[in-house]
Amino acid sequence: MKSLSIALLLISFNLYAQYPSGEEIMDRIDRNLSSKNRILTSQMVIHGARGDRTIESKTWAEGDDKAYTEYLSPPREAGTKMLKLEDQLWIYSPSTDRTIQISGHMLRQSVMGSDLSYEDMMEDARLTDKYHAAVIGTERYQERDCWIVEMNARAADVAYQIRKVWVDQQRYIPLKEELYAKSGTLLKRTELFDIQRLGNRWYPKRIVFKDMLKKGDGTEFIIEAIQFDQEIPEHIFTKASLR
């Protein structure tokens, strides 16, 4: 019996020894998803309790500190602009010709009634800068073999203190995430689809967000076009660009 227990322990140890470290997986994810800068045109399809709405926008972003977004359609939202500089956000509304500032916890509010917060939409933080991680198992998901990775925030001000991520073992791209508060409350769930090879990275062209604390069938974030590591004029990231 003792030798059987030792054998089972050795098998378990060998299985876990074959897993990459959590930090290695996060680094590989960062290589796919993070970039020096990016320019993208996207659609946000909001499946709300009262019906569906589609909002199209264009975003210029540099690292995790600077992002500028202009809404292109529908007409009611067209011309609305958002500028994020570090942890501050300014929103310009053409209907009122006013600019308002949002900061702190207000960055976690919903964008246009969607399941995305302002942080979700405009941040590009590297996981390795924000989290510790460990592989806690494996699972087949979307017909792909995945590592299940648990990530715990390094600091108290991170929006999602715990993340449980299903990571494609070959492409090192998340296919599903569960995002938790420190209390263990499930806040959001995301699923990534239409994974494509873009240059030297794998990248999703469609992400479905579901805020678990609100009604509705979630929000689809569809990337129509994206460019990485482009030259972006510095004036884009100024408050003057809002007008």
Report the C-alpha gap between 209 and 116 in whole angstroms.
7
User: Is residue 13 scored above 50 in pLDDT?
Assistant: no
Is residue 36 a contact partner of residue 229, using CB atoms and an 8 Å limit? Answer: yes
- The predicted-structure confidence for 187-211, as pLDDT tens digits, reads as follows 999 999 999 999 999 999 999 999 9
For residue 52, the model assigns a pLDDT of: 93
Query: Strands 81-85, 37-48: parallel, antiparallel or unpaired by DSSP?
Result: unpaired
Report the C-alpha gap between 94 and 113 in whole angstroms.
18
Average pLDDT in the chain: 90
Percent share of the chain, pLDDT over 70: 93
Domains contained in the chain, CATH given: 21-58+110-230 (2.50.20.10)
For residue 1, the model assigns a pLDDT of: 55
Report the C-alpha gap between 240 and 235 in whole angstroms.
8
For residue 48, the model assigns a pLDDT of: 85
Residue 167's nearest CA partner among 28, 17, 34 is 28
Residue 220 banded pLDDT, cuts 50, 70, 90: very high
Lowest-confidence pick of 53-57, 63-67, 200-204, 210-214:
63-67
Is residue 89 a contact partner of residue 103, using CB atoms and an 8 Å limit? Answer: yes
Which token pair is 34?
A: 């993070």
For residue 3, the model assigns a pLDDT of: 53
pTM for the whole structure: 0.88
Residue 54 banded pLDDT, cuts 50, 70, 90: very high
User: Is residue 7 scored above 80 in pLDDT?
Assistant: no
- The predicted-structure confidence for 95-143, as pLDDT tens digits, reads as follows 999 999 988 778 888 998 999 998 888 777 789 999 999 999 999 999 9
Residue 167's nearest CA partner among 32, 73, 10, 8 is 32
161 CB-near residues (< 8 Å, 6+ apart): 152, 153, 180, 181, 182
- The predicted-structure confidence for 27-50, as pLDDT tens digits, reads as follows 999 999 999 999 999 999 999 888
